[in-house]
């Protein structure tokens, strides 16, 4: 008899899945080791980060899928609604449905019991797999997601994996091979630029390249200074700019630049872990750090007492620097290949610029049409 794990892998293959973003679940312990052998696997540390990476990969031409525990659906609902549903970006999600079948952990029960009702209320197309004979519904979920350009969730009961023979002989072997060794000196200097002036200084390096821009006023300022089809303007999903940029860079031969912010990055610092493990030389992250939430009234962020460049180095990103002036920023952009992390210290303040005039679907379509070099299969293959 073909195991549930083998059937799942075959369904993913039949539907041309390129990238599988994963987070562990005890019930998936026999499936997860096989994912990396047959697909490009992104091992996540947070579900929202995976939403951004998968969105970027799709925009660049790939077919991503997420494989997570159902508790993770609670973490990613806002990102799913403000990114995937807003821009109409497909994403099939296979979730190990905890809390409904022989559940020994009380903390899993409440969410697992109410999960389907929550997804129904949000009008998320959902499929239920309770026995191994229903695994074909995974294929339906993938097909529906990419047909509708919207997310679809396949909830798989632990009973399915329980029915499959367990691979008792498998034991993963891991050895820590390295970790960041920090040698760091960064004397403090006063900021000289506003965000608008920093973006203006970067325009010669942004023009003609792929740019993912943080939401709110940063996107408005970028649009005013350098509107182009290859700009992805974010309208929501705070914290995911660098995640989307990373996903795009995995499947594009072009240079990809991200204009992120201190408040945004601190909402999803996990992306720095993903960047250090996955990013290639075509990704540059410019963090425009004004120490405030600039789009909501300049409330202070934690970066007032936290060095974001050191944070990036602690996550393992080696090619980092600071920029305080236009000349600093331009020199950093001309420097060696990435992945690069440019911590740009700026003054608070917003330029008086109009709104981005495009609807979310138009932003998506413009961006995808700007990428004739979109790749499929293994990243940068």
Q: Which helix (H) or strand (E) holds 256?
A: strand 256-261
Tell me, yes or no, whether 208 and 353 share the same domain: yes
Tell me, yes or no, whether 350 and 262 share the same domain: yes
Tell me, yes or no, whether 202 and 59 share the same domain: no
pLDDT given at position 5 = 95
CA distances from 88 to 142, 204, 317, 374 (A): 15, 31, 32, 19
Tell me, yes or no, whether 149 and 202 share the same domain: no
Tell me, yes or no, whether 140 and 215 share the same domain: no
Structure tokens at 114: 């109410």
**Is 170 a domain residue?**
no
Q: From CA 33, how far away is CA 336, in angstroms rounded?
A: 36
Tell me, yes or no, whether 28 and 155 share the same domain: yes
Tell me, yes or no, whether 31 and 115 share the same domain: yes
For residue 233, the cross-strand partners are 213
Q: From CA 51, how far away is CA 77, in angstroms rounded?
A: 10
**Is 331 a domain residue?**
yes
For residue 213, the cross-strand partners are 233, 259
Tell me, yes or no, whether 63 and 203 share the same domain: no
**Is 381 a domain residue?**
no
- Whether the upstream peptide bond of residue 204 has omega within 30° of 0, thus cis, is no
Q: What is the pLDDT of residues 20-33, one digit of tens each?
A: 999 999 999 999 99
Find, among 127, 184, 172, 182, the residue nearest to 151 by Cα.
Answer: 127
Contact 86, 235 (CB under 8 A): yes
The CATH number that applies at residue 43 is 3.40.50.970
**Is 180 a domain residue?**
no
- Mean of the per-residue pLDDT values of the chain: 92
Q: What is the pLDDT of residues 230-280, one digit of tens each?
A: 999 999 999 999 999 999 999 998 999 999 999 999 999 999 999 999 999
The count of structural domains within the chain is 2
Looking at the chain, the whole-number percentage of residues with pLDDT higher than 70 is: 94
Residue of higher predicted confidence among 301 and 204? 204
Tell me, yes or no, whether 200 and 121 share the same domain: no
pLDDT given at position 170 = 56
* Domain endpoint, select from 148, 163, 178: 163
**Is 176 a domain residue?**
no
* Domain endpoint, select from 114, 141, 163: 163
Instruction: Tell me: pLDDT of 112 over 80.
Output: yes
Phi and psi at residue 242, to the nearest 5°: -70, -30
Tell me, yes or no, whether 32 and 83 share the same domain: yes
* Domain endpoint, select from 163, 180, 210: 163
| Angle between helix 71-79 and 47-59 (nearest 10) | 50
Tell me, yes or no, whether 19 and 86 share the same domain: yes
Q: What is the CA radius of gyration of the chain?
A: 21
Structure tokens at 325: 């002036």
Tell me, yes or no, whether 87 and 209 share the same domain: no
Residues 89-126 as b/e (b if ≥16 CB within 10 A, e otherwise) read bbbbbbbbbbbbeeeeeeebeeebeebbeebeeeebbb
Domain that holds residue 143: 4-163
Q: What is the pLDDT of residues 146-188, one digit of tens each?
A: 999 999 999 999 999 876 555 555 566 667 777 777 777 777 7
Residue 348's pLDDT band (cuts 50, 70, 90): very high
Looking at the chain, the whole-number percentage of residues with pLDDT higher than 90 is: 83
Residue 381's pLDDT band (cuts 50, 70, 90): very low
Alpha helices in the chain (DSSP H): 4-14, 32-38, 47-59, 71-79, 86-87, 106-121, 137-148, 158-163, 195-206, 217-226, 241-250, 262-267, 270-278, 308-314, 326-334, 360-369
**Is 11 a domain residue?**
yes
Contact 93, 65 (CB under 8 A): yes
Residue of higher predicted confidence among 285 and 291? 285
Residue 350's pLDDT band (cuts 50, 70, 90): very high
**Is 184 a domain residue?**
no
């Amino acid at each position: 008899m073909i195991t549930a794990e083998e059937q799942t892998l075959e369904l993913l293959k039949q539907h041309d899945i390129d990238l599988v973003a994963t987070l562990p679940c005890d019930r998936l312990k026999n499936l997860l080791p096989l994912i990396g052998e047959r697909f490009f696997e992104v091992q996540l540390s947070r579900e929202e980060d995976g939403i951004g990476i998968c969105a970027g990969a799709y925009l660049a031409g790939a077919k991503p899928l997420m494989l997570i525990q159902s508790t993770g659906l609670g973490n990613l609902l806002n990102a799913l609604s403000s990114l995937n549903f807003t821009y109409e970006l497909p994403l099939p999600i296979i979730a190990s449905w905890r809390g409904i079948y022989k559940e020994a952990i009380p903390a899993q029960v409440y969410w697992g019991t109410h999960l389907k009702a929550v997804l129904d209320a949000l009008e998320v197309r959902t499929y239920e797999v309770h026995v191994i004979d229903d695994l074909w519904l995974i294929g339906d979920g993938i097909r529906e997601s990419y047909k509708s350009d919207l997310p679809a969730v396949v909830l798989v009961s632990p009973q399915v994996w329980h029915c499959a023979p367990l691979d008792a002989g498998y034991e993963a072997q891991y050895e820590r091979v390295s970790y960041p060794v920090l040698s760091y000196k960064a004397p403090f200097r006063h900021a000289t630029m506003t965000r608008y002036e920093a973006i203006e200084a970067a325009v010669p390096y942004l023009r003609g390249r792929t740019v993912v821009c943080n939401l709110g006023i940063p996107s408005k300022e970028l649009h005013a200074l350098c509107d182009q089809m290859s700009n992805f303007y974010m309208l929501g999903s705070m914290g995911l700019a660098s995640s989307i940029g990373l996903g795009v860079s995995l499947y594009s031969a072009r240079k990809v630049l991200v204009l992120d912010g201190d408040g945004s990055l601190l909402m999803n610092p996990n992306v720095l872990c993903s960047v250090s493990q996955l990013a290639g030389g075509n990704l540059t992250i410019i963090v425009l750090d004004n120490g405030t939430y600039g789009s909501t009234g300049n409330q202070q962020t934690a970066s007032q007492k936290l060095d974001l460049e050191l944070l990036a180095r602690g996550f393992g990103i080696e090619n980092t620097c600071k920029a305080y002036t236009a000349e600093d920023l331009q020199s950093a952009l001309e420097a060696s290949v990435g992945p690069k992390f440019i911590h740009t210290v700026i003054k608070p303040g917003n330029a008086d610029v109009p709104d981005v005039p495009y609807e979310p679907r138009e932003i998506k379509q413009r961006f995808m049409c700007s990428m004739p070099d979109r790749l499929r299969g293994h990243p940068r293959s």
